[in-house]
Amino acid sequence: MPFRHHDRSHDLRTRIEMEVRQRLEEAIDFVCLEALVSARRSAGRPAPAADNADDRAEYEAHVGAFLRLLDAEVAGAAVPAARERAADGEHARLLAAQVALARRMPDYWQQLETLSARYLAEPSASGGQRRSLLARLFGGA
C-alpha cells in the first residue's frame, strides 16, 4: 500500500521516515495486542477493553517490554542520534532508535519478525506475570 499521509509538504527523506515509523508502530501494536489477548485467554480473563485504563496500562507494559527486547537484540549498532533526539520518554526514544535501525539495516524486518514470534511464544510475554521462583522450582503455576 503506498504512503498516503495527508501532509505532502515534507521532503522524501522525512516521508520515508514517517512511513517506516507508521509500519513499525503497526507491527509493534499487533505483537503487543496479540500478547495481551493471549495472556488473558490463558489466564481465563476477559478480553481487554479499549476504554479501560488498567487494560491500557497492561498494553503499554507490553509495548515497553517489546521495545526493550528489540533494543537489546537488534540495536547491536547503536544509533545515538535517534536515542538522543527523542526526549518524549522511554517508548519514544526506543521507537526512534528502531526507526533508524529499520532504515539502515537490510535484514531489520526479518529480525523483527523473529523477535515478534519469540516474544509471543515466551511465557514472560504475559506482561510481567512470570511465575514465582518457588512455583518454577516446584512445578506449580
67: cell is 521495545
What's the pLDDT tens digit per position in 75-126? 655 555 444 454 468 899 999 999 999 999 999 999 999 999 999 998 654 4
In angstroms, rounded to a whole number, what is the distance separating the alpha carbons of residues 109 and 85?
Answer: 23
Query: What is the DSSP secondary-structure string of 56-95?
Result: HHHHHHHHHHHHHHHHHHHTTS--HHHHHH--S-HHHHHH
| Phi/psi-derived region of residue 124, left when phi > 0, alpha when psi is between -120 and 50, beta in every other case | alpha
Q: Bigger pLDDT: 7 or 129? A: 7
Q: Place 7 in a pLDDT band, splitting at 50, 70 and 90.
A: low
Tell me the per-residue pLDDT of 25-37, one tens digit each, with 9 for 90 and over.
999 999 999 999 9
Q: Cα torsion at 26, 27, 29, 33 (round to 10°)? A: 140
Closest CA to 33 of 14, 5, 51, 56: 56
Percentage of residues in the chain having pLDDT higher than 90: 55
